[in-house]
Chain A
């Protein structure tokens, strides 16, 4: 293709968007609306993912040791646990530290309850806090740690806790939300594609006469196709760009106005700065591709003589 021909296709495609004013408006609107819903779910999925990650980072195993074991034994246990490939970090929490953490967690309401305890009569055991590489396999790792204790005749590990049940439940819920979100997003992308290709088909149907005349004066099929590709891509691009701008502006406002409430619930929303590029890329990419694809299938239909 000559460069001047390429320019002609670009010019014709863009002009055609303007010439078919209302049809273009309809196509752009349908792209914008479909992709808006898709964008909402995309942001929702991103936030669920983010939330899951936050929870995953907070998940840890507490290993409580027996009260009557030696310093060496304690260190040996720490080394054995640290040597497990699934363990990412292990930290020793002395009984004094444990008491301190307990006091802090009880907060103001619990002040005084623990006042009579000090270093001399601390009832708490020494413990290890263990973080795992893959939080979803936390039960497995906990079992392995328990096995280390059971293998020693002194039974140096008194208990292993990781919020049994609760953590598994949490992961089941977040996984379900994530999967359902993905299915909805895929379904909406499919619906949007159908809607858009249909709209572009109507645009082209209205111009089948034009295509017929083009063929009559000796236009090759690719020559006829190109302006329609340009037009489809432009419609998709404009529609998705409008959606992206509106969606991100609205989301930014939402994040800022909800920051305080969600912050108190220990939930941090994904910011526009973190997600904006991804959301814009996905929406505009999909929108443009859908536009091209929609015009491609529709043009092919009317190019058969």
Chain B
């Protein structure tokens, strides 16, 4: 599903975020990306959804060599990748419903289908009753649920979550994890960068640790392995 071969990322300021990373993530895997701040986790995530291009090496997502993709094709690749951020990134002036529907309008889905599918997804994340609220009227956990609803509404094969629980209290974080588990169960491949030791050590999945731009550890059912 996601394959990196000797990927290097050197930013214009000369900093080497990734130095020769090779990894293979299979379909329907659930992977934690762990490591200290500034180790290259975010760059790793950004390369997957083509926010950044590798300086060297190849990345294929869903069978597409996304490093060599023409800019015109990028939107179509993104439609198959749902992205969730620590800071939610919702549109503040749109309602919950509109925020989620937005991702479907973009791909020119018929209105009737949008209505049906958005309500379905809002039900899944447990926010059907808040469909007409604005993001500012919701708690952090609820906002993250909206962001997840938006990420999955188009049934993407891959979900990329960059510290989705970073801004949430432990209890709310577990709610988000249950939701991601549910989405994983329904067939999505999930790549999640996190600093949350408790989650990684409790909900055991494959763990890839990145330090100084290289993969230092890659174990199935791994542990967080860092002291906070």
Contacts and interface: CB of A to CB of B under 8 A. Distances in A.
Interface stretch (A102-110, A129-137, A218-226): A218-226
A71 interface: no
Contacts of A164: none
B14 interface: no
Q: Of A5, A218, A219, which is in contact with the most chain B CB atoms at under 10 Å from its CB?
A: A218
B89 interface: yes
Interface residues of B, number: 25
Nearest to B106: A219
B226 to A, nearest CB: 29
Contacts of B102: 213-214, 217
Contacts of B78: 215-218
B79 interface: yes
Contact of B111 (A4, A210, A218): A4
Nearest to A5: B108
A219 B75 contact: yes
B106 A214 contact: yes
A210 B90 CA distance: 8
Contacts of A213: 89-91, 102
Contacts of A219: 75, 106
B11 to A, nearest CB: 15
A273 interface: no
A144 interface: no
A209 B88 CA distance: 12
A265 interface: no
Contact of B75 (A4, A19, A210, A220): A220
A266 interface: no
Contact of A218 (B71, B72, B76, B93): B76
B108 A217 contact: no
Contacts of A217: 78-79, 102-103, 106, 150, 154
A295 to B, nearest CB: 18
A300 interface: no
A4 B76 CA distance: 20
Contacts of B51: 305
B106 A223 contact: yes
A8 interface: yes
Nearest to A212: B89
Chain A interface size, under 10 / 10 to 19 / 20 to 34 / 35 or more: 10 to 19
B24 interface: no
A19 B106 contact: no
A266 B111 CA distance: 66
A210 B105 CA distance: 14
Contacts, number: 50
B63 interface: no
Contacts of B108: 2, 4-5
A218 B79 contact: yes
Contacts of B76: 218
A35 to B, nearest CB: 29
Interface in B128-187: 150, 154
Given A218-B78, A218-B107, A210 B91 contact: yes
B83 interface: yes
B74 interface: yes
B106 A218 contact: yes
A212 B150 CA distance: 15
A214 B91 CA distance: 10
B12 interface: no
Contacts of A2: 108
Interface string A220-246: 110100000000000000000000000
B117 to A, nearest CB: 14
Contacts of A4: 108, 110-111
Interface in A183-225: 209-210, 212-221, 223
Contacts of A215: 75, 78
Nearest to A15: B93
Contacts of B89: 209, 212-213, 216
A298 to B, nearest CB: 19
Contacts of A8: 105
Q: Of A2, A212, A219, A221, which is in contact with the most chain B CB atoms at under 10 Å from its CB?
A: A219
Closest 8 CB pairs of A and B: A218-B79, A218-B78, A217-B103, A219-B106, A220-B75, A218-B75, A5-B108, A2-B108
23 contacts: A2-B108, A4-B108, A4-B110, A5-B105, A5-B108, A19-B93, A209-B89, A213-B89, A213-B91, A216-B78, A217-B78, A217-B102, A217-B106, A217-B150, A217-B154, A218-B75, A218-B77, A218-B79, A218-B103, A218-B106, A218-B154, A219-B106, A220-B106
Interface of A: 2, 4-5, 8, 19, 209-210, 212-221, 223, 305
